[in-house]
Amino acid sequence: MQKLRILFYVYTLLVSLVAASSAWGASAIGEQKLKIVASNYPLAYFAERLAGPRATVTLPAPASVDPAYWQPDAKAVGAMQKADLILLNGADYEKWLAHVALPRLKLIDTSATFRDRYIRIENAVVHSHGPAGQHSHEGIAFTTWIDFDQAAQQAAAVANALIAKRPELKALTLDALQMLQQDLAELDEEIRRITAAKPSLPLMASHPVYQYLARRYSLNLKSVHWEPGEMPPAQEWAELDKTLAGHPAKVMLWESEPDTQVVEKLKAKGIASKVFDPCANRPDTGDFLTVMQQNIKNLKLVFHP
Amino acid sequence: MRHDFYLAWRYLRHHRTRTLILILCLSLIASLPLCLHRVLDAGEYWMTKRAEATPLLIGARGSAVDLTLGALYFAEGEVPAISMREADRVAATGWADPLPVYARFRVRGLPLVGVTLDYFDFRKLNPAQGELPALLGDCVLGADAAERLSLGPGDTLASASGNAFDLAGTYPLKLHVTGVLAKSHAPDDQAVFVDLQTAWVIDGLGHGHAEAQAAASAPDAPFGPATVRRADAGLLTYTEITPENLSSFHFHGDPATYPISAIIALPHDVRSATLLRGRYLDDSAGTAIVRPLEVTRGLLQNIFRVGALFDGILVLVGGAALVLFSLVFALSLRLRQREIETIYLLGCARLTVARLLLAEILLIVLLSGAVCAAVLYASRPFASELARFFILS
């Protein structure tokens, strides 16, 4: 009986030790999580899909701000400096990059592989919306990820950076990349199939952010500089009429749901409003994939009403 | 024996001027070579340690010594600049990580060094106070630099103007001190660090525009044309970068053409280092790669040769001084002949007289040794400074 009791105590002690060491091991693994900062939501989504629970992915731009026009303060820069990887969209997306001090070896330009295919925007206009103040779209078009082939290349750049940082996770990362690229390829194929039906269909865009979408899927697209929540001035409506004279579009694409007054006024001109959200910031519901699937559904209504 | 030393001590005290001169002469002769070796040892340790930690250095073809001294020890003297494209080239090979260094400027006599944040990770430099630079116009001070300038986080420091008589030249930039680095016992302690982009602003490659002027020139805002706004915006030579004007700062031209002094290349392995060195074998190229340890060793060998020459001279001077010391002692014995006779007549043995003289010599040597040790101890904190001054200045 005495021996059994001793054996029980020894067993309890061993179990406690094993449990404690497991907990310590788990916390050690937790500490080893990669810290990733992404400059926009598509990159954050790619990193989350590729790294899974092995990384903490942060999108420092506030939810109410377009990350393309966000300016980090010293505190945000300090937080970025502590990251293991800083994922950049490239294509002149991070205009704040020239104003901050960041470790260059941790910066990953995800669009570097197709740098030679950037679209340059000439004769852009200055306009303002929201708290970000005035801005212009002159320079390089930066909404690179809505060309899903380019998005796949950006995802591959994220995967390569992860593998370089954690070679031991190569197999897991490559598997995740394959799945992500498969999803992106499906989106790409779907849009190709939809747009192929009416290749020369004239379309209007409310904002000049669809350049890569138009190029990849051969859209006959012209842009104005309107914001979803603002009624454009009379001068802009006059400009639209002039454009429509030579470009008889029946649909205008918006980044988000436009103001009902604008929708009604457009409808009076025979133009329907459809949303194609570039999803630059984290959506309130769903994720990058669901937002893009919804975009495709909206686009389908344009080409197959 | 104790009495011998007592009598010798009383005698030396009585003739204190002569004793002091002898002690000073002997201690000087002994401490000079020892101090010189201490400075050389400090210099060797200080330079070798730094060079060992820096695997490869890329810079303009020319003097490897100037390149190494400029990029590693921030020595004065302008090293020809290379372009940032070279750093991109190194990164593109995938064999090494490049750390660009731009050490062209000085601020209040201290080196103002433009680096990327990776440099602090590489040299294991952490702020003891405050933070590392975060925004354009921020700087972080080395420990000694902060002490010398009496500055800390929150203070400001103006960079030196490129040319006071050049009206179109660069204006001084008011730098914001964000932190002070912990002491590293390396040249980083004496430097003021800024981000590479801030160094380029100081160099006149980046500037800001007056926002008020820009807003006035956009009457149809928010839909005014960008070209009008840009053409009318007055160029403002800002002397301070603030959160309000930060966003107006920009750079012109291709950043790949911007200047840097050198690149510290961190190869991933021995094979990568060899492959990278192979890229710079072309003598007609404008850039060269050096191994700082080899350059430093070559430099130190020259310094040690000079040190050996000093040793030889000091041995001769020391020998002459000892002869003079013996002569002074012999002459003093002659002067003390009557005194020695008296001691003998008092009944002391000849040996006692010899013991008294020996005690005197021993006391003088001991006191000289003590002075020599004190000088060596006092010079210890300055050895690195002196090495830096004599080797790098």
Instruction: Annotate A168-206 with DSSP letters as a single string.
Output: GGHHHHHHHHHHHHHHHHHHHHHHHHHHHTSTT-EEEES
Residue B117's pLDDT is what?
96
Same domain, A159 and A48: yes
Q: How far apart are CA A88 and CA A39, in angstroms?
A: 5
pLDDT surpasses 60 at B179:
yes
pLDDT of A302 above 50:
yes
- Other Cβ atoms within 10 Å of A93 Cβ, number: 24
Query: A123-132, B23-32, B52-61, B156-165: which range is least confident on average?
Result: A123-132
pLDDT of residue B226: 37
Structural domain including A266 reads 197-303
The pLDDT, as a whole number, for residue B47 is 82
- Is B253 in the A-facing interface, judged by CB distances under 8 Å? no
- How far, in Å, CA of A300 to CA of A304, rounded? 6
**Which residues of chain B have a CB within 8 Å of the CB of A163?**
none
One-letter amino acid at B314 equals: L
For the stretch A174-196, pLDDT in tens is: 999 999 999 999 999 999 999 99
Asked if residue A110 lies in contact with residue A132, where contact means CB atoms within 8 angstroms, the answer is no
The pTM of the full predicted model, rounded to 2 decimals, is 0.79
CB B184 within 8 A of CB B143: yes
Mean per-residue pLDDT, B192-206: 93
- Tell me whether residue A71 is in a domain: yes
Chain A interface includes B377 (CB < 8 A)? no
| CA of residue A102 relative to chain centroid, distance | 21
Mean pLDDT (whole number) for B172-191: 93
DSSP structural state of residue A96: G
Q: Are B217 and B233 in contact (CB under 8 A)?
A: yes
Instruction: Write down the ipTM of this complex.
Output: 0.80
**Are A160 and A274 in the same domain?**
no
Task: State whether A95 and A222 are in the same domain.
Answer: no
Q: How confident is the model at residue B119 (pLDDT cuts 50, 70, 90)?
A: very high
Q: Which of B101, B102, B117 to mutate to test the interface with A (most CBs of A within 10 A)?
A: B117
Is the link from the previous residue into B222 a cis peptide, with omega within 30 of 0?
yes
d(C-alpha A244, C-alpha A221), whole Å: 11
* DSSP structure string for B143-189: HHHHHHHT--TT-EEEPPPS-TT-TTSPPP-EEEEEEEEPP-SSGGG
Q: Which of A241-250, B1-10, B255-264 bottoms out in mean pLDDT, i.e. has the lowest? A: B1-10
In a domain, A151, yes or no: yes
A176, A226: one domain: no
Please name the residue of chain B whose CA is at the shortest distance from the CA of residue A105.
B118
- pLDDT of the residue at B160: 74
Query: What tens digit of pLDDT does each residue of B339-384 get?
Result: 888 888 888 887 888 888 889 889 999 999 999 999 888 888 787 7
pLDDT value of residue B91? 93
A236 lies in some domain: yes
pLDDT grade for A123, boundaries at 50, 70 and 90: low
Whose tokens are 């008889």? That residue is: A248
> Would A251 be classed as within a structural domain?
yes
Across B149-176, average pLDDT: 78
Q: Which of A129, A155, A185 is the last residue of a domain?
A: A185
Phi, psi of A270 (to 5 degrees): 85, 20
A99: chain B residues, CB-CB within 8 Å: 135-136, 197, 246-247, 249
Yes or no, beta carbons of B222 and A78 under 8 Å apart: no
Q: Does residue A22 sit within a domain?
A: no
A202 and A170 both lie in a single domain: no
Higher-confidence residue of B45 and B201: namely: B201
B225–A98 C-beta distance less than 8 A: no
Average pLDDT over every residue of B1-30? 86
Q: What is the pLDDT of residue A128?
A: 55
CA–CA distance, B206 with B247 (Å, rounded to integer): 12
Decide if A128 and B229 are in contact by the 8 Å CB cutoff: no
- Boundary of a domain, candidates A155, A185, A215: A185
Q: Quick one: A243 and A172 in the same domain?
A: no
Task: Using a pLDDT cut of 90, give the percent of chain B over it.
Answer: 44
Band of residue B391 on the pLDDT scale cut at 50, 70, 90: low
CA nearest to B176, candidates B149, B147, B155: B155
Position A15 scores a pLDDT of 53
- Say what the pLDDT of residue B230 is: 43
Q: What's the distance, CA B305 to chain centroid?
A: 22
Same domain (yes/no): A39, A171: yes
pLDDT at residue A199, as a whole number: 84
pLDDT number for residue B7: 86
Q: Which among A111, A3, A59 is positioned nearest to A287, based on CA atoms?
A: A59
Q: Given pLDDT bands bounded at 50, 70 and 90, which one contains residue A30?
A: very low
Say if residue A228's pLDDT is above 60: yes
Place of tokens 């007054």: A261
Domain total of chain A: 2
User: Mutation test of the interface with chain B: which of A125, A137, A165, choosing the one with the most B Cβ atoms within 10 A?
Assistant: A125
Residue A66 lies in a domain: yes
What proportion of chain B, given as a percentage, has pLDDT over 70?
Answer: 89
Angle (CA) B295 B299 B304, round 5°? 145
Span of A93-102, B48-57, B250-259, B338-347 with lowest mean pLDDT: B338-347
Let me know whether A263 and A218 are in one domain: yes
My answer on whether A156 and A269 are in the same domain is no
- Residue ending a domain, choose from A129, A153, A185: A185
Shortest Cα distance, chain A CAs vs residue B116, angstroms: 6
Q: Judge if A250 and A207 occupy the same domain.
A: yes
CATH number of domain containing A102: 3.40.50.1980
Asked if B134 and A100 come within 8 Å (Cβ–Cβ), the reply is yes
DSSP B124: T
Residue A19 has pLDDT above 60, yes or no: no
Mean pLDDT of A11-29: 51
Distance of CA A20 to the CA centre of its chain: 41
- Tell me the average pLDDT across A250-272: 94
| Confidence band for A22, pLDDT divided at 50, 70 and 90 | very low
Interface touch A71/B247, C-beta < 8 Å: yes
Both A171 and A257 in one domain: the answer is: no
Q: Assess whether pLDDT exceeds 60 at residue B285.
A: yes
Q: How confident is the model at residue B393 (pLDDT cuts 50, 70, 90)?
A: low
Query: Same structural domain for residues A170 and A41?
Result: yes
On the question of pLDDT at B118 being above 70, the answer is yes
Q: Is residue A67 part of a domain?
A: yes
pLDDT given at position B219:
41
pLDDT of amino acid B287: 94
- Tokens for A210, please give them: 């669809």
Evaluate whether residue A105 is within a structural domain: yes
Picking from B140, B223, B251, B264 by the largest number of A CB atoms within 10 A of its own CB, the best residue to mutate is B223
What gap in Å lies between CA B322 and CA B350, rounded to an integer? 25
Mean pLDDT of B132-142: 96
Per-residue pLDDT, B235: 52
